[in-house]
Amino acid sequence: MKSTIAKSDAARDAAFRRLLSGAEESGSLIPLLQKTQGLYGYLPERALVRIARRLRLSPAQVYGVATFYGQFRLRPAGRHLVTVCHGTACHVAGAERISEALEGALGIRTGGTTPDGLFTLRNVACLGCCSLAPVMMVGETAHGRLTPAKAKAVLRRRAR
C-alpha cells in the first residue's frame, strides 16, 4: 500500500469520499480501512466514524476491528516507516541490537516517532527474508545482512 503524502488535505478528503461511496457491505471493512490508511497515513477518528455510518456498523465495531489488526495506526506515522524484523532468524542474528542502535540514533523508543516527524520505528514478526537476517524495511524497501552500523547508515541516507 502506497501512501500518497504529496496530496493536499482537500484532495485526500475528496479521495476518501469517493472510497466511501464505493463501499457497501461490511465485508469490505478491512480493505476500506487499508485504503483510508493509505490516504492519510493513519486512521483519523472522523474517518472511522464515517466508515461506520456508511457500512451501518457501530463506531465501536469499526474501532474494534481497527485496533485488532497490527497494521492499523490511530496516530500519524513519520515520513519513513522503519520496520525492524524480530522474526526468529533475525532474533538469533541480533535483531535486538539493531533496534537498540536505531533507538539510540533516533532518540526514540520502538513504537515512537521522531519529533521532526521523519521516522517512525516499529517491529514486525518476520519480513520473509530470513536468510538475510537481520533485516529491516524502510518504506517498502527491505535491507538485509544488517549490522547496527549499517542500519544507522541507511537511516542517515534517508534523513538527507
Partner 1 sequence: MRARPGWTVTVGMSSCGVAAGAEAVREAFRREIARRRLPAAIRITGCVGMCHREVLAEVSPPGGGATIYGDLTPERAARIVERHLLGGEPVREWIVADDRAPLHALPYFAKQKKIVLRNCGFIDPEEIDDAISMGGYEALRAVLAEGSPEAVIACVEASGLRGRGGAGYPTGAKWRRTRESPGAEKYVICNADEGDPGAFMDRSVLEGDPHTVLEGLAIAAYAVGASRGVVYVRAEYPLAVRRLRAAIGQAERRGLLGRDILGSGFDFSVALMEGAGAFVCGEETALIASLEGGRGMPRLRPPFPAARGLRGMPTCINNVETLANVPWIVRHGAERYAAIGTPGSRGTKVFALAGKVARGGLVEVPMGITLREIIEEIGGGSGTGLPVKAVQIGGPSGGCLPASRFDTPVDYESLKESGAIMGSGGMIVLDESACMVDIARYFLSFTRDESCGKCTFCRVGTKRMLEILDRIALGRAEEGDLDLLEELGRSVGIASLCGLGQTAPNPVLTTLRFFREEYEAHIRDRRCPAKKCRALFRYRVDPSRCTGCGACARVCPVGAVAGEKGRPHLIDEARCTRCGLCVEACPADAIAAE
Cβ burial of 92 (10 Å; 0-12, 13-18, 19+) is exposed
Among 41, 44, 78, 87, contact with ligand FES (rule: CB under 6 A): 87
Please report whether residue 142 would count as binding partner 1 according to CB under 8 A.
yes
* Distance (Å) of CA 22 to CA 19, 28, 137, 157: 5, 10, 32, 40
d(Cα 78, Cα 91) in Å, to the nearest integer? Answer: 25
What part of residues 9-48 is at the interface with partner 1 (CB under 8 A)?
A: 25-31, 33-34
Q: According to the binding rule CB under 6 A, does residue 94 interact with ligand FES? A: no
Closer Cβ to ligand FES, 80 or 91, answer by number? 91
Taking the complex as a whole, the smallest distance from the CB of residue 19 to ligand FES amounts, in Å, to 32
CB of 100 to partner 1, least distance (A): 5
Does the footprint of partner 1 cover residue 72 (CB under 8 A)? yes
Q: CB nearer to partner 1: give 13 or 97.
A: 97
Closer to partner 1 at the Cβ: 11 or 58?
58
- How many C-alpha atoms does 104 have within 13 Å on its Cβ side? 10
List, in order, residues 6 or more apart from 102 with CB less than 8 Å away. 82, 84, 121, 151, 152, 155
CB 81 within 8 A of CB 111: no
Measured from the CB of residue 72, what is the shortest distance to partner 1 in angstroms?
7
Q: Does 127 bind ligand FES (CB under 6 A)?
A: yes
